[in-house]
Amino acid sequence: MISFLEGEVLFLEDSTLTVKVGGVGYELHASLNTLSDCALGDKVQMHVHTHVREDALQLFGFSSVLEKQIFLSLIKVNGVGPKSAVQILSGARPEMIYGWIEDSNAKALASLPKIGKKTAEQIILSLKGKLVLADLTSGESSFKDRPQIISALVNLGFRLGDVEKVVDQMDPKTDLDQGVRTGLQALTN
């Protein structure tokens, strides 16, 4: 099974990219978030899920471990296949999707591509409280309230990139209320 690739981006299409590794081109299905992180000729590191079916072998690529973890959780939900999971991840950042699941926000999930109300409710029922997102660099659980803090600050009108930079500097033990207060203070100065 292929779980990681490092190489040069040869081709970019609507939903795939081809990464050249040691003279071999690997076609990876990817979300718009991952595709937007890539440009032709870039050296990239992709986290990969190898999906095997009777009639096909497909590779799905992710620019972050978090996106891969959300993808792997989504494909365990009844009625959500790998291509649907990629479409879902194309509709919002992984942190936001995580936050919506934990907050039981079926309306927000239903606004994503390939998700109706029934599927959104099924995702929440299947995954709420069960998503454990590991930070593979430290071996510890990731910043628990990070997605909710990011979502709250973005909903207050701040740019996602600016919000993520501020939240990344916070103590991982910061709770939601303190995180929003600290974020507001940092973003308005």
Interval 14-54: pLDDT, tens = 899 999 999 999 999 999 999 998 999 999 999 999 999 88
Give the contacts of 184 (CB within 8 A, at least 6 positions apart). Answer: 153, 156
Nearest to 98 by CA among 135, 64, 73: 73
Within the chain, all domains assigned CATH 1.10.150.20 are found at: 65-92+103-127
Which CATH number does the domain 4-62 belong to among 1.20.210.10, 3.30.930.10, 2.40.50.140, 3.40.1010.10? Answer: 2.40.50.140
Burial classification of residue 92, based on how many CB atoms lie within 10 Å of its CB (0-12 exposed, 13-18 middle, 19 or more buried): buried
Pick the CATH number of 65-92+103-127 from 3.40.50.970, 1.10.150.20, 3.90.180.10, 3.90.1150.10: 1.10.150.20
The boundaries of every CATH 2.40.50.140 domain in the chain are 4-62
Top-level class of domain 143-188: mainly alpha
The pTM of this model reads 0.70
Give which of 60, 121, 70, 122 is closest to 99, Cα–Cα: 70
What does each C-alpha distance from 140 to 74, 97, 124, 133 come to in angstroms? 22, 21, 24, 9
| Range(s) within the chain of domains with CATH label 1.10.8 | 143-188
Strands 43-52 and 4-12: antiparallel
Instruction: Quick: pLDDT tens for 102-154.
Output: 889 999 999 988 789 999 999 999 998 887 664 433 333 346 777 778 878 87
Mean pLDDT over each residue of the chain, to the nearest integer: 87
